[in-house]
Chains A and B, each alone.
Chain A
Amino acid sequence: MTHGPGSTRRRFLTDAAAVGTALAVADLGLLATITPAAATPEAMRTAIRNVVGEAPVQTGKVKLDLPPLVESGNVVSVTVSVDSPMTANDHVKAIHLFNEKNPLPNVIGVRLGPRAGRASLTTRIRLADSQTVIAIAELSDGSFWSDSVSVIVTLPACVETL
C-alpha cells in the first residue's frame, strides 16, 4: 500500500474522527425526524384559529361524548351532537374535532347541511396520550360553539413500534 505525501497516520486518524462525528450528527438528525413531534396545546390553538378565523368560540350547544377513561387509544368512540333545529335558516354547517397531544392537532372535519335533520356525528378516533379533546361546531349564522372533554388514555395509540 502506497501513501501519498498528505496521507499520514495522523491524517487518517483525524479524518476517521471527522467521519465518525458526521455520522453521529446524521444519526441525531435521523432520530429527530422519526420521533413524532407531539402537537402541543399551542398547535391545537393554531389549528382551531385556522378553522374559525377571528370569530369567538363560545361554550355550549355542543355535546362531546367521549369516555373519560379509555383503555386503548387506538379506537376511541366519539359522538358529537349539536343542539340545533337544523332548518334552512338555523343549522350546523360543520363540526370539527381537535386534540392536544396527538402528532397532529386535527382529528376530523365534517360538513353537513339543513338536510341532516339532526346534527350528530359518531366516529372512532385515535388518542396518543391522556389529553383534552375539543369539538367545535360552525353554525349557519357564522357563530362557533365548542365543548371539551378530558380523557385518560391507558394504552396510547399512533406512536407504538411494530
Chain B
Amino acid sequence: MARAIVNVPPKAKHGDVFEIKALIQHEMETGFRVDNMGKVFPRDIITDFVCKYNGEEIFRAELFPAVAANPFFSFFTTATESGAVTFEWSGDNGFSATASRNIVVE
C-alpha cells in the first residue's frame, strides 16, 4: 500500500480553525509521456481524495494529471468534537488508500 503521511493536530480547542496536511506516495503518471519507442505510458493517477471528520465530509478534491507526483494537500477545518479525521484516496487501476488520525477537542 502506498505510503501516506497525514498531519492533524492531536489536540484543539472547540471552535479553533486548524490545518490538515495530507501527502501520499503516488507516481501520478499523466498518460501523456512517451518512452523512446514512442509508446505512451498509460495514465495512472489518483482521481479522488476525500477527508471526513467524524464521518462528515469536510474536504473533497477531484484530481487531474496536472497534479504533481505524490499529491499534497493542505486545508483547514473547525474543531467541533473529539473524534477521527479520516482520509481516502482512490484512483486508476483500482488504487485505494486510507489513513486516519484522532483529535481531542477540549
Contacts and interface: CB of A to CB of B under 8 A. Distances in A.
Contacts, number: 115
A104 B34 CA distance: 16
Contact of A107 (B33, B67, B73, B78): B67
B30 A158 contact: yes
B47 to A, nearest CB: 11
A50 to B, nearest CB: 12
A67 interface: no
Nearest to B15: A117
Interface in B64-91: 64-78, 80
Contacts of B67: 107-108, 123-126
B69 A34 contact: no
Interface in A107-124: 107-113, 115-124
Given A120-B75, A122-B73, A159-B33, A111 B59 contact: yes
A108 B60 CA distance: 11
Interface residues of B, number: 36
A161 B66 contact: no
Contact of A108 (B30, B36, B66): B66
Given A108-B64, A126-B30, A162 B35 contact: yes
Nearest to B80: A115
B61 interface: yes
Contacts of A118: 17, 76
5 contacts: A34-B38, A107-B66, A115-B77, A123-B74, A126-B65
Across chains A and B, which 10 residue pairs bring their CB atoms closest together, nearest first? A117-B17, A122-B74, A117-B78, A124-B68, A36-B32, A118-B76, A107-B66, A109-B62, A111-B60, A106-B64
